[in-house]
Structure 1
Amino acid sequence: MDQSSFFLKTLALFTATAIAEIIGCYLPYLWLRKGGSVFLLLPAALSLMIFVWLLTLHPAATGRIYAAYGGVYVCMAVLWLWLADGIMPDRWDIIGSLISLIGMAVILLAPRAN
Structure 2
Amino acid sequence: MAYLQTLGVFVLAGLCEIGGGYLVWQWLKADRPGWMGLAGAILLVLYGWVATWQPTSFGKTYAVYGGIFVVMSIAWAWYFDGFWPDRFDVLGGAIVLLGLGVVLFWPRA
| TM superposition score normalised by structure 1 | 0.87
Amino-acid identity (%): 39
The match for 2:56 is 60
C-alpha RMSD of the superposition? 1.3
User: Which of 94, 97, 112 is residue 90 of structure 2 equivalent to?
Assistant: 94
The match for 1:25 is 21
Mapped pair 1:47 → 2:30: no
The match for 2:8 is 12
> Larger RCO: Structure 1 or Structure 2 (Cα < 8 Å, ≥ 6 residues apart)?
1
**1:68 counterpart SS class:** helix
| TM superposition score normalised by structure 2 | 0.90
Stretches of structure 1 that go unaligned for 5 or more consecutive residues are none
1:19 partner letter = L
Deviation of 1:58 after TM superposition, in Å, equals 1.1
Stretches of structure 2 that go unaligned for 5 or more consecutive residues are none
Figure out how many residues of one structure are paired with residues of the other and give that number: 109
Deviation of 1:62 after TM superposition, in Å, equals 2.1
Distance in 1 (CA, whole Å) between partners of 2:5 and 2:86 is: 28
Distance in 1 (CA, whole Å) between partners of 2:104 and 2:69 is: 15
